[in-house]
Amino acid sequence: MEDTRNLIDEYKGMTNEQVFSALEKSRTSLEIAIENVEHDFNIGSIVRTANSFNVKKVHIIGKKKYNRRGAMCTDKYLEIIHHPTVEDFLKTQKNRELVAIENNTERAKPLNDKKFIKDTTLIFGSENNGITKDLLDRAKDVRFIESFGSTRSVNVGVAAGIAMYEYIRQTTF
């Protein structure tokens, strides 16, 4: 029977548990935090992208449910942790650099200037309201993705992909 899952060839024919175990051997130390993103599809898209970059963990802060269809079943291949509060999330982040991707604050500097360290957690928030002040105040660094057209920002799922790629580019290649 043909394996029709969206997997690269080396994982075809493996069980979901075997794929998870194989990926564990080469995971990056990058973690992703998603705080109260309002559109379920965006959360699914971020999870799918996190799998593509083989991140260590995805933390969902606040809202627990999301559209797993957007994740294309990739949520089976990485650890996803729900935190009901910011405080609960922060307890898991000892010795990690928290980098918020946010364009609604004077603290934000361009992403292209960022020099990432290995133990980084990228934080993404709601497209309408951004990251909450409580969590933004706890971030060591705040970055924005430069825009070159008339739109002031990109979709949060796209922003996550850009930031993850930049982290991987700097720490892996």
φ, ψ for residue 110 (rounded to 5)? -60, 140
Identify the band that residue 143 occupies on the pLDDT scale cut at 50, 70 and 90. very high
d(CA 109, CA 100): 10
Contact (CB, 8 A) for 134 and 79 = no
Start-to-end CA span in the chain (Å) = 37
Strands (E), 68-135: 79-83, 97-101, 109-110, 120-125
Contact (CB, 8 A) for 27 and 52 = no
Structure tokens at 148: 């070159």
d(CA 171, CA 8): 23
d(CA 109, CA 101): 10
pLDDT tens-digit series, residues 50-107: 999 999 999 999 876 655 555 556 788 899 999 999 999 999 999 999 999 998 889 9
What value does the mean pLDDT of the chain take?
91
User: Average of pLDDT values for 101-121?
Assistant: 95
pLDDT in the model for residue 43: 85
Global pTM reads 0.92
Query: What domains lie within the chain, and their CATH numbers?
Result: 16-172 (3.40.1280.10)
Helix/strand/coil for 96: coil
Residue that has been written with the tokens 């990109």 in this structure: 154
pLDDT in the model for residue 3: 92
Burial of 66 (0-12, 13-18, 19+ CB in 10 A): buried
Helix/strand/coil for 109: strand
pLDDT in the model for residue 102: 95
User: Average of pLDDT values for 130-143?
Assistant: 96
Strands (E), 6-115: 31-35, 57-61, 79-83, 97-101, 109-110
User: Average of pLDDT values for 4-23?
Assistant: 93
Contact (CB, 8 A) for 66 and 124 = no
